[in-house]
Structure 1
Amino acid sequence: MSKVVVVYSGGMDSFTVLHKALSAGHEVYALSFNYGQKHSKELICAQEVTEEHSTPHKILDIQSISSLFTNSSLVSDQIDIPEGHYEADNMKSTVVPNRNMILLSLAIGYAVNIEASEVWYGAHSGDHVIYPDCRPEFVEIMDKASSVANFQPVKVVAPYLQSDKVGILKDGLKMGLDYSKTWTCYKGLEKACGKCGSCVERLEAFEANKKPDPLTYQTK
């Protein structure tokens, strides 16, 4: 059994990654980040799930970095979260520049500190279009950088890199996971909006798997 750090946002992708690592018998340390995202409700989900599994969990407060990303609708109060599919050009406003490199760097540092051998995160093929730091090239280069950045090499693992949201959900359903314990919507609302790219992709994944989404939506 190896010790691994899972970058755990509280969303359905990282929720599945977390359980994949747990089911593989790894000693899992979950790491979440509050970087000023409007959908910080996901962190509540992350806390509840890790407590349920008695999984060590840290929520790192790095909200101050949001001042560097004023062009991203995920953190800026001046830009509304766009609605529509991820393939739409307007969804590019949800990009937080260099986010995964920043978060993975911190996770790798944490892994070195606790002598973990790997860092897992939920990059997948559905994000390749508008999120460069979810693409295979990025993961490969980040893994190489991690191997030389410290005396203790830490491998960067993206188990669903060649899969999409439909495939991730399919795998999670096989594991018997309860997706009511996740949060996906980008808008900071009490109920999921059902219209932002993240909601649309989630709903499509449940429809493709012929399963009802357990979340309550304002509209679909």
Structure 2
Amino acid sequence: MAKVVVIYSGGMDSFTVLHRAIRDGHDVYALSFDYGQRHVKELTVAAEVTRGLNIPHKIVDITAINELISNSSLTSTSTAIPEGHYEEASMQSTVVPNRNMILLSLAIGYAVSIGAEAVYYGAHSGDHAIYPDCRPEFVQRMNDVSRIANYEPIEIAVPYLTNDKAEILRDGLAMGLDYKNTWTCYNGRDKACGKCGACVERLEAFAANNTVDPLAYE
């Protein structure tokens, strides 16, 4: 049984990746990051899920990075979360500069320290238009670096890189997953807003699968 680290945000994509790694027979160690995101509620959800699965889970506080990269609407309360689809230019304000390179670097270090063989994360094709660090060329080059950055080569596994959110959800539903145990909305309120890019894409994925989203919306 191979030991792997899963970068687990608490969102529906990483929730599916987490369960796929478990389904594939891996010894899973979940890793979440508090980077000052307004939707910190996702970390509470992540903790509840991992407790229920009885798998190791660490939440690492890296909020100090906001002294350097504080111009994203995901981390700055002075900037409104944009509404609309990810394809709209306004969604670029949700980019956290270099986020996935930072998170992957930390996860790779963790993987080396516990003797894991791979780091899983949930980039997918729906993110390619807006988030440069979810694109195939980024993943390929990070994978190249990861294999030479330590004495122990670590693979970066991205099982849904060429799939959209509807296809990810379809795979999760086939695994019998309950998506009420996820949080997607960029606004960290009691209920999902239904209007931000994350909510819009999520709702489209459920509609594409002729399934009702179990989350409560405003």
Aligned residues: 218
Query: How far does residue 69 in structure 1 lie from its aligned partner after superposition?
Result: 2.1
Deviation string for 1:55-91 (max 9, x for gaps)?
1000000111122222200001210100000011000
Paired with 2:206 and 2:110, the residues of 1 have a C-alpha distance of 34
Paired with 1:158 and 1:81, the residues of 2 have a C-alpha distance of 27
- The aligned counterpart of 1:205 is 205
Q: Does 1:118 align with 2:118?
A: yes
SS in structure 2 at match of 1:200:
helix
- The aligned counterpart of 1:54 is 54
SS in structure 1 at match of 2:148:
helix
- The aligned counterpart of 2:36 is 36
Paired with 2:70 and 2:83, the residues of 1 have a C-alpha distance of 19
- How many percent of aligned residue pairs carry the same amino acid? 67
Deviation string for 1:2-40 (max 9, x for gaps)?
000000000000000000000111000000000000000
Residue 87 of structure 2 aligns with an amino acid whose one-letter code is E
Deviation string for 1:82-137 (max 9, x for gaps)?
00000110000000000000000000000000000000000000000010000000
SS in structure 2 at match of 1:13:
helix
**Superposed CA RMSD:** 0.5
Instruction: Provide runs of 4+ in structure 1 moved above 6 Å.
Output: none
SS in structure 2 at match of 1:77:
coil
Paired with 2:68 and 2:94, the residues of 1 have a C-alpha distance of 14
- The aligned counterpart of 2:170 is 170
Paired with 1:148 and 1:31, the residues of 2 have a C-alpha distance of 22
- The aligned counterpart of 1:107 is 107
TM-score by length of 1: 0.98
Paired with 2:84 and 2:201, the residues of 1 have a C-alpha distance of 9
Structure 2: any 5+ residue segments left out of the alignment? none
Paired with 1:196 and 1:164, the residues of 2 have a C-alpha distance of 18
- The aligned counterpart of 1:94 is 94
Deviation string for 1:124-176 (max 9, x for gaps)?
00000010000000000000000110000000010000000000000000000
Q: Does 1:190 align with 2:190?
A: yes
Residue 98 of structure 1 aligns with an amino acid whose one-letter code is N
Paired with 2:148 and 2:162, the residues of 1 have a C-alpha distance of 25
Paired with 2:67 and 2:40, the residues of 1 have a C-alpha distance of 16
- The aligned counterpart of 1:138 is 138
